[in-house]
Structure 1
Amino acid sequence: MTLPSTRVRKVRRLRFSIGLFVVLFAAGGAGFYWWKHAQPQLPAGISWGNGRLEADEIDIDTKFPGRIAELGVDIGDMVTAGQLVGRMDTRDLQESLKKAQAQVKQAQHAIEEASANLEQQRTQQTLAAQELDRTQALLKNGWATKELFDQRKQALDGVNAGLSAATNRVAETERALEASEHDVGLYTVNINDNDLVAPRDGRIQYRIANIGEVLPAGGKVFTMLDISYVYMDIYLPAPESGKIKVGTEGRILLDAYPNSPIPAKVSFIASQAQFTPKTVETKSERDKLMFRIRVRIDPDRSRVHAASVRSGLPGVAYLRADPSVAWPKDLQGPP
């Protein structure tokens, strides 16, 4: 019995679909098999995890409220530790400094006057003491009256009081000079603190404010990357992270430089497990609880290759828990 033409077409389509599915499935399986065996096989004792290369971000902030007067760098510029990158308007502090310096001169002049007065009081004390001694000798021989002796004694007492006051006046003017000098030092420090300097070697990542803007105390002007602290955070499950220790040797292989493994060491291991971030892929397709491990590149190596440091570059970090295991050839890297 002959099947209707429409039914024949349906059967042919079904057979074609099944055949196509089988071919695609076989091709996919073969491709996966090739990819699996084409990848370098890691020996036992070496763990890996993917992440992104990061560098510590440092904010360059204002210490005092004020207006930005100068900016010496821009986004992407390399800076060195201590380099001046900007300056705040310090005209008000400059005037206060001049006032304090004038007060220092005034205090120095006051000390000179007080010292001269003290010397005068000492001279008068010497004279009054000598007159009292002579009067006392004359009184014993009956050549001076008791009244004259009392007058000499009162004069000496007055001179002693004046000497004490003059001494205190010198000490007071010296303290005033010291306070004025402290004011000069304070204004000088505040003026210097209005210079914005780079605390570390690195690259300017962001410029947040511009010349002429008024910022509060702590206002951000730049954000820079500290190229001496470059690292990658990866996440490993407990069975693997338990074998890793601080100081464990590692290699970082960036997607941008697949043939240049970077020597590194473990600098931090989280004490508590956490859920794996969504951006992290794991061997078991997102193990629920993982331990964060920080793999840091040697600071000297980071400085040498400062121009190549880019925050956010994806890659893979390999950790050798067993020092007796040799690194695969493609992960040996430079000495």
Structure 2
Amino acid sequence: MKYRVVASLMFYLVLTACPNQKPRPLQGQVEFDEIDIASRLSSRVREIKVDIGDDVKAGQLLAVLDDDLIAIRSERAQATVDQAHLQKQLTDQATRREELAQLETAEQLSRSQLEFARQSLKRARALYEKGAIATQQWEEVLVKEKAARSQHTMARSRLEAGRNGARQEQKAIAAANLVQAKTGLAEVSAYDKDLQLSAALAGQVQAIHARPGELVPQGFPVITLQDRSHPRLSFYVTEDRLAAFQQGHFYKVSIPALKDAAYKVQLVRVQVLPAVLTQVVTEGRGTRDIRSFELTFKPVDDSTSLQSGMSAVLMPGDQP
């Protein structure tokens, strides 16, 4: 946009070639910020809710897009969440009631066998001490008691594991899988919201770049809004005339399109333009080159009548 001022800058250089000439007015223009409303998805335009020139409010629905794949992705993501939720429940419960009953029965049986083996060992010890049984018989009873004790220990461990459920690591993995599945569903839901394009701020519809039925790629600006609440006036001067302006000070501009209506404005920014476009070599040898600057003014008075592209005239030193 700044390239449009090259011809104007050349005109200003001609005017400043005569140092004794009376300062001439600067000509600039009114500008507004524009915002493109786009989607993060490649989709087809289903409906446009506004028309060019309409004033819209922040959050107002502007367009509706359509994407059949979103519904498929949403169903698949929901199924993944349901599956992860069931897996977590199974992990938390770990053992079904029927399995737990079987483990309790096995533990009771092994405990009875251990009690019988202990009684047998007690009787065998008394007989062995009296010499009533051989050493081999005593050792057999002793081995059977040890085996019964080991089987009971294993049965009791299995019963405790069944009652306690899965290990903490398994529970943590199941919980993480559920969180991941929910995140995937939230991502699809976020994409689904992108199918409804709403105004990011209050403004005016400046352009509609797609119509119903057209396929728009990812990031394509479907609608362009103009922020009417923050107008600005831009002027361009060479640095030899920059001393006539001070940032923060107030000036007066006239708008020819509004019958030279006067507006009080404030200089809010002074910015140098790229040297490759605005640096001009002066005729005199040994003198420095001339740079150009952009002056940005903000209207202080009511600016509802201003339109983008209107010319503005400012006289250096003309302060209200």
- Shorter-chain-normalised TM-score: which range? 0.5 to 0.7
TM-score by length of 2: 0.67
Contact 1:118 1:167 in 2 (8 A): no
Identity rate, percent? 23
Return the alpha-carbon distance in structure 2 between the equivalents of residues 172 and 179 of structure 1.
11
Give me the whole-angstrom Cα distance separating, in 1, the residues matched to 2:252 and 2:152.
96
For 2:231, what is the secondary structure of its paired residue? strand
Amino acid at match of 1:116: Q
Q: Residue 145 of structure 2 aligns with which residue?
A: 145
Q: CA deviation at 1:102?
A: 3.1
286, 292, 295: which one pairs with 1:293? 295
TM-score, length basis structure 1: 0.65
Task: Tell me the equivalent position of 2:258.
Answer: 257
Query: Separation in 2 of the partners of 1:205 and 1:212?
Result: 21
Give the drift of 1:72: 0.7
Q: Which amino acid aligns with 2:148?
A: L
Give the whole-Å Cα distance in 2 for the aligned partners of 1:211 and 1:149: 80
Match of 1:311 in 2: 308
Segments of structure 2 that go 5 or more residues without pairing to the other structure are 1-21, 123-143, 280-289
Find the aligned partners of 2:238 and 2:119 in 1 and give their Cα distance.
108
Matched AA of 1:147: A
| Alignment partner, residue 174 of structure 2 | 173
Number of residue pairs the alignment of both structures matches:
265
Deviation (angstroms), 1:142: 5.0
Q: Indicate whether 1:101 and 2:78 are aligned.
A: yes
Aligned residues: CA RMSD:
4.0
Mapped partners of 1:232, 1:118: distance in 2: 75
SS of residue in 1 equivalent to 2:90:
helix
Q: What code does the residue aligned with 2:152 have?
A: R
**Structure 1 equivalent of residue 283 of structure 2:** none
More displaced stretch, 146-155 vs 250-259: 250-259
Contact 1:118 1:166 in 2 (8 A): no
Q: In 2, are the aligned partners of 1:236 and 1:292 still within 8 Å (CA)? A: yes
Secondary structure of 2:52 counterpart: coil
Cα drift, residue 99 of structure 1: 2.7
Paired amino acid for 2:311 = P
Equivalences for residues 265-284 of structure 1 within 5 A: 265-271=266-272
2: CA distance, partners of 1:122 / 1:318: 94
1:205-284 equivalent positions in 2, closer than 5 A: 205-258=206-259, 260-271=261-272
Shift of 1:266: 1.7
CA separation of 1:243/1:259 partners in 2, compared to 1, >3 Å: closer, same or farther? closer
Give the distance between the partners of 2:306 and 2:180, measured in 1 at CA: 49
Q: Return the structure number with greater relative CO, CA threshold 8 A, min gap 6.
A: 2
8 A Cα contact 2:251 2:319, kept in partner: no
Q: CA deviation at 1:227?
A: 1.4
Cα distance in 2 for partners of 1:118, 1:252 equals 83
Secondary structure at the residue paired with 1:82? coil
CA 1:246 to 1:166, structure 2 compared with 1: closer, same or farther past 3 Å?
Answer: same
Deviation at 1:154, TM superposition (A): 2.5
State the SS of the aligned residue for 1:204: strand
Q: 1:250 to 1:139 in 2, by over 3 A?
A: farther
Measure the CA separation in 2 of the matches of 1:247 and 1:135: 97
The one-character-per-residue Cα deviations of 1:155-203 (angstroms, maximum 9, x if unpaired) are 3444566657465544333333222211221111001122212222221
Are 1:55 and 1:227, in contact at CA under 8 Å, matched by a contact in 2? Answer: yes
Matches within 5 A, 1:1-335: 48-118=25-95, 142=121, 145-159=145-159, 165=166, 167-258=168-259, 260-271=261-272, 289-297=291-299, 301-302=302-303, 305=304, 308-318=305-315, 327=320
Mean CA deviation greater in 193-202 or 116-125 = 116-125
Q: State the AA in 2 paired with 1:67.
A: R
Q: 1:167 and 1:239, CA in 2 relative to 1: closer, same or farther beyond 3 A?
A: closer
- Residue 314 of structure 1 aligns with an amino acid whose one-letter code is S
Amino acid at match of 1:220: P
Structure 1 residues 223 and 203, CA, compared in 2 at 3 Å: closer, same or farther? same
Q: In structure 2, how many angstroms separate the alpha carbons of the residues matched to 1:175 and 1:54?
A: 52
How far apart, CA to CA, are the structure 2 residues paired with 1:326 and 1:50?
16
| Partner Cα separation in structure 1 for residue 196 and residue 188 of structure 2 | 13
Counterpart CA distance in 2 for 1:168 and 1:183 is: 23
Q: Distance in 1 between the 2:291 and 2:190 partners?
A: 50
Q: Which amino acid aligns with 1:293?
A: L
Cα 1:141–1:253 shift into 2, 3 Å: farther
Q: 1:157 to 1:82 in 2, by over 3 A?
A: same
Cα distance in 2 between the residues matched to 1:105 and 1:89: 26
Q: Corresponding residue for 2:128?
A: none
Distance 1:152 1:317, change over 3 A: farther
